[in-house]
Chains A and B, each alone.
Chain A
Amino acid sequence: MNQLVTTLLVIGGGPGGYVAAIRAGQLGIPTILVEAGQLGGTCLNIGCIPSKALIHAAEEFEKAGHYAADSPLGPSPLGISAAAPSIDVTRTVGWKDGIVKRLTGGVGALLKKNDVQVVNGFARILDGKTVEVKRTDGEVQRIRCEHLLLAAGSEAVELPFMPFGGNVVSSTEALSPQTIPKQLVVVGAGYIGLELGTAYRKLGAEVTVVEAADRILPAYDAELTKPVAASLKRLGIDLRLSSSVLGLNAGVRVQQANGEEIVLSTDRVLVAVGRRPRAGGWGLESLQLDMNGRAVKIDDQCRTSMRNVWAIGDLAGEPMLAHRAMAQGEMVAEIISGKRRHFTPAAMPAVCFTDPEVVVVGMVPGEAEAAGIDAIKAHFPFAANGRAMTIESTDGFVRVVARRDNHLILGWQAVGRGVSELSTAFSHSIELGATLEDVGGTIHAHPTLGEAVQEAALRALGHALHI
Chain B
Amino acid sequence: MGIHVIKMPDLGEGIAEVEVVAWHVKPGDTVKEDQVLADVMTDKATVEIPSPVHGIVTSLGGKLGEAMAVGAELIRIEVEGAGNHTGDASANTTAARQQVANPVPAKAPAQSTAGTAEEFPPITVAQPETVVTTVTSAETAAPAQAAPSRPAPAYTQSGGSSAPAHHGRAPGEKPLAAPAVRQRAWDMGIELQFVTGSGPAGRISHADLDAHVSRGQQKAAEGDRRYAVLEGEQAMPVIGMRRKIAEKMAEAKRRIPHFTYVEEIDVTELEALRVQLNARYAGQRPKLTLLPLIMRAVVLAIRKYPSVNARFDDDANIVTTYNPVHLGIAAQTDAGLMVPVVRNAEARDPWSAAAEVARLADAARTGKALREELSGSTITITSLGALGGIVTTPVINRPEVAIVGVNRIVDKPVILNGAMVARKTMNLSSSFDHRVIDGMVAAEFIQTIRGYLECPATLFVE
Contacts and interface: CB of A to CB of B under 8 A. Distances in A.
Interface string B320-356: 0000000000000000000000000000000000000
A321 B314 CA distance: 79
Given A340-B189, A341-B183, A462-B121, A406 B199 contact: no
B49 to A, nearest CB: 22
Nearest to A340: B186
A101 interface: no
B209 to A, nearest CB: 14
B126 A432 contact: no
Interface stretch (B132-140, B200-208, B238-246): B200-208
B36 to A, nearest CB: 15
Nearest to A403: B201
Interface stretch (A138-146, A381-389, A433-441): A433-441
Contacts of A408: 176, 200-201
Interface in B55-107: none
A4 to B, nearest CB: 32
Contacts of A376: 149-151
A339 B186 contact: yes
Interface residues of A, number: 26
Interface in A336-373: 339-342, 344, 346
Contacts of B202: 406
Main secondary structure of the interface of B (DSSP, over half): loop
Contact of A460 (B150, B174, B176): B150
A131 B257 CA distance: 87
B186 A438 contact: no
Main secondary structure of the interface of A (DSSP, over half): loop
B422 interface: no
Interface string A404-447: 11111000000000000000000000011101111000000000
B153 interface: yes
A378 interface: yes
A374 B124 CA distance: 10
Contact of A435 (B165, B174, B201): B201
A156 interface: no
Interface residues of B, number: 29
B177 interface: yes
Nearest to B180: A432
Residue among A405, A431, A463 having the largest count of chain B Cβ atoms under 10 Å:
A405
Contact of A341 (B125, B152, B186): B186
Given A374-B126, A406-B123, A461 B151 contact: yes
Contacts of A436: 121
B450 interface: no
B164 interface: yes
B327 to A, nearest CB: 38
B186 A342 contact: yes
B176 A405 contact: no
A404 B126 contact: yes
Given A342-B186, A461-B151, A462-B153, A406 B164 contact: yes
B178 interface: yes
Contacts of A341: 183, 186
Contacts of B199: 433
A437 B165 CA distance: 16
Nearest to A374: B126
A339 B186 CA distance: 8
Interface string B118-130: 0011011110000
B4 interface: no
A89 B201 CA distance: 53
Contact of B201 (A406, A431, A460): A406
Given A433-B203, A437-B120, 6 more contacts: A340-B187, A346-B176, A376-B150, A404-B150, A406-B202, A461-B151
19 contacts: A339-B186, A341-B183, A341-B186, A344-B174, A376-B151, A404-B147, A405-B124, A406-B201, A407-B123, A408-B201, A435-B201, A436-B121, A437-B120, A461-B121, A462-B121, A462-B150, A462-B152, A463-B121, A463-B153
Interface of B: 120-121, 123-126, 147, 149-153, 164-165, 174, 176-179, 182-183, 186-187, 189, 199-203
